[in-house]
Amino acid sequence: EPEVTQTPSHQVTQMGQEVILRCVPISNHLYFYWYRQILGQKVEFLVSFYNNEISEKSEIFDDQFSVERPDGSNFTLKIRSTKLEDSAMYFCASSGGITDTQYFGPGTRLTVL
Amino acid sequence: AQSVTQPDIHITVSEGASLELRCNYSYGATPYLFWYVQSPGQGLQLLLKYFSGDTLVQGIKGFEAEFKRSQSSFNLRKPSVHWSDAAEYFCAVVSQTGANNLFFGTGTRLTVIP
């Protein structure tokens, strides 16, 4: 069964450093998402991406964040200058259509020291 | 604006007992509703979804949920819980803005005792 994959599974970084989280969505999916879950809190939407552009973003997704689909398979989330409060689990998701089920990856745990 | 409330933070049930996890939503139209499960250290797995039609939906692992518009609820049920069902359960509703992003509830942690 196709699945969404994410790398790395765990990333530790120093405050102020740039990080790139990588996702490989399900191959025939067209809609891509990033969510995050701070420890002990609910899953929060960050950004959605379709047709090589952002379709929606939350207030969390400020200028420090960016997304890119650099090739036909990868979907990345970049945090330019990490803050302590960026420590969270980051989930990538993809879906085949605008109302289709979103399939989630296993997540990347980001720890900012 | 859309939102989801899961009133129970933590529920403990005995193995073999029945289970009901509550979810209430706020939404301006007919909602698209989901239940996801997250095992420790794992990602989110879809249990079931409601888009339209029959208000009682069946999912994986023996779970079902009933959409009740009059109560703005979408409660998850299972007749007999297994120890492997211990996990965090999230109810979610699709955004009304058209981008299809999900709004999640705060989750209910299920503990199963032998």
What's the pLDDT tens digit per position in B42-72? Answer: 789 999 999 888 899 999 999 999 999 999 9
pLDDT at B12: 97
Question: Is residue A94 within 8 angstroms of chain B, CB to CB?
Answer: no
Q: How confident is the model at residue B98 (pLDDT cuts 50, 70, 90)?
A: low
Cα separation, B51 vs B111, in Å, equals 29
Q: Please report residues of B whose CB lies closer than 8 A to that of A106.
A: 42-43
Question: Is residue A102 within 8 angstroms of chain B, CB to CB?
Answer: yes
Instruction: For the beta carbon of residue B27, count every other beta carbon within 10 angstroms.
Output: 19
Choose among A41, A55, A105: nearest Cβ to B99: A55
Cα separation, A78 vs A14, in Å, equals 15
For the purposes of burial, counting CB atoms within 10 Å of the CB of B75, is it exposed (0-12), middle (13-18) or buried (19 or more)? middle
Q: How confident is the model at residue A70 (pLDDT cuts 50, 70, 90)?
A: confident
Across the interface, whether the CB atoms of B100 and A99 are under 8 A apart is answered yes
Choose among B43, B100, B103: nearest Cβ to A107: B43
The contacts found for B15-20 with CB under 8 angstroms, 24 or more apart, are: B15/B81, B15/B82, B15/B83, B15/B112, B15/B113, B15/B114, B16/B80, B16/B81, B17/B80, B17/B81, B18/B77, B18/B78, B18/B79, B18/B80, B18/B81, B19/B76, B19/B77, B19/B78, B19/B81, B19/B85, B19/B110, B20/B75, B20/B76, B20/B77
The residue of chain B with its CA nearest to that of A90 is B43
Q: Please report residues of B whose CB lies closer than 8 A to that of A58.
A: 101
User: CA of A30: how far to CAs of A4, A22, A99, A102, B33, in Å?
Assistant: 13, 17, 11, 11, 21
Return the higher-pLDDT residue of B23 and A72. Answer: B23
What pLDDT digit, counting tens, does each position of A39-60 carry? 888 899 999 999 889 999 999 9
Cα separation, A47 vs A94, in Å, equals 12
Q: Please report residues of B whose CB lies closer than 8 A to that of A104.
A: 36, 43-45
d(CA A43, nearest CA chain B) in Å: 6
Question: Is residue B5 within 8 angstroms of chain A, CB to CB?
Answer: no
- Could you identify the residue written with the tokens 């994959």? A5
Question: Is residue B99 within 8 angstroms of chain A, CB to CB?
Answer: yes
Across the interface, whether the CB atoms of B43 and A55 are under 8 A apart is answered no
